[in-house]
Every structure is written in structure tokens, then in C-alpha cells.
């Protein structure tokens, strides 16, 4: 999917999403940072935008829905000025130890390099209920969890 967007960042703690042909107002504004945004990067293949702020908080946004999907804080090196470079490595041939696709993000902080690896969601998850779970209970005696879902049946229509 291609986006015809320009992402801007600044001291107002927001990321602006602009159509390059419309100068009057942005298509969207991503709010949530508590400090100046110093770096933005768009990953078009996944419709994601990464933004990094001066207080060392990385946010991952869904571009189409314009919502924050993930907030990462407290994992980046402490120190003075934030002078970073953000590089996304989206090589499909790179596999992790379980043969899942994984993508790496590299952030540099001066002379320090940080790597964050994004792993694909597992597709072999066990799904226990086809409808919403209404209640769950844990028994320490058996060390098990019991779950309950509720279904309604029409006696007259046999549904």
C-alpha cells in the first residue's frame, strides 16, 4: 500500500500527517507524546508510523486509523541530548529462531546503537471459545483456569 503522506514532527508534541497537495490543514494529527517529537518514520508495508520524542518515548501508530498501537518507554539509554537516527530493517528473509518473520528497528543515540526486534504474531494460537468469554476462575488446587461463555438458543425456532 502506498501512502501519499508527509509526516511532520515538532515542539508541539504532535505528529502531523499531510497530503502534499493540500497545504491548508493536515489530514490527521497524532497526539499522545508528552515532549517534542524529534524523529518520525513511516513503514508503508504495514501502514505504521514510528515517532520518537525528546523524553525517549517511542510510539507506533496505525496510519489509517490514526491511533497509537504501542508505547515504548524506559528501555532507551539515559543521557543528555537526544540525537537519534531511526532505521527500519524489513527484510523478509530474516527469520528468528522459530522461523517467523521478524523486523528490526535500529536506533542510534550518539555512539550507542539500540536494536528492537518486532516479531510476527503467532498463527498457531489455541482458541478456546468462538464467542466472548464471560467469566474465568482459577483453582490453585488443580492449578487450572476454567472459562465460561454463554449462548442463547431459541426453543421455538430451533436455533
Assess if residue 93 is contained within a domain: yes
Give the model's pLDDT for residue 18: 94
- The grid coordinates of residue 24 equal 491548508
Mean pLDDT, the chain cut into blocks of 10 residues (159 residues total): 82 94 91 93 85 90 93 78 66 50 69 73 72 86 88 73
**Cβ(7)–Cβ(49) below 8 Å:** yes
Give the model's pLDDT for residue 92: 47
Give the model's pLDDT for residue 62: 93
Give the model's pLDDT for residue 37: 93
Give the model's pLDDT for residue 89: 64
pTM attached to this predicted model: 0.64
Coil, helix or strand at residue 44: helix
Assess if residue 137 is contained within a domain: no
Assess if residue 148 is contained within a domain: no
Give the model's pLDDT for residue 158: 64
Domain with residue 45: its CATH number is 2.130.10.10
- Residue 62 belongs to domain spanning: 6-119
Assess if residue 13 is contained within a domain: yes
Assess if residue 43 is contained within a domain: yes
Neighbours of 130 (CB within 10 A): 7
Long-range contacts of 90-93 (CB under 8 A, 24+ apart): 90/43, 90/45
**Cβ(131)–Cβ(151) below 8 Å:** yes
Assess if residue 19 is contained within a domain: yes
Amino acid at each position: 500500500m502506498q501512502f501519499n503522506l508527509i509526516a511532520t514532527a515538532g515542539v508541539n508534541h504532535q505528529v502531523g500527517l499531510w497530503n502534499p497537495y493540500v497545504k491548508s490543514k493536515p489530514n490527521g494529527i497524532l497526539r499522545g507524546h508528552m515532549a517534542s517529537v524529534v524523529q518520525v518514520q513511516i513503514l508503508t508495508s504495514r501502514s505504521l508510523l514510528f515517532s520518537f520524542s525528546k523524553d525517549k518515548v517511542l510510539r507506533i501508530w496505525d496510519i489509517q486509523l490514526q491511533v497509537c498501537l504501542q508505547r515504548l518507554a524506559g528501555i532507551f539509554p539515559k543521557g543528555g541530548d537526544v540525537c537519534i537516527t531511526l532505521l527500519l530493517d524489513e527484510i523478509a528473509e530474516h527469520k528468528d529462531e522459530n522461523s517467523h518473520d521478524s523486523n528490526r528497528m535500529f536506533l542510534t543515540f550518539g555512539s550507542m546503537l539500540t536494536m528492537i526486534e518486532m516479531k510476527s504474531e503467532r498463527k498457531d494460537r489455541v482458541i478456546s471459545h468462538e464467542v466472548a468469554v464471560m467469566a474465568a476462575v482459577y483453582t490453585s488446587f488443580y492449578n487450572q483456569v476454567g472459562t465460561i461463555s454463554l449462548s442463547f438458543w431459541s426453543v421455538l425456532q430451533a436455533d
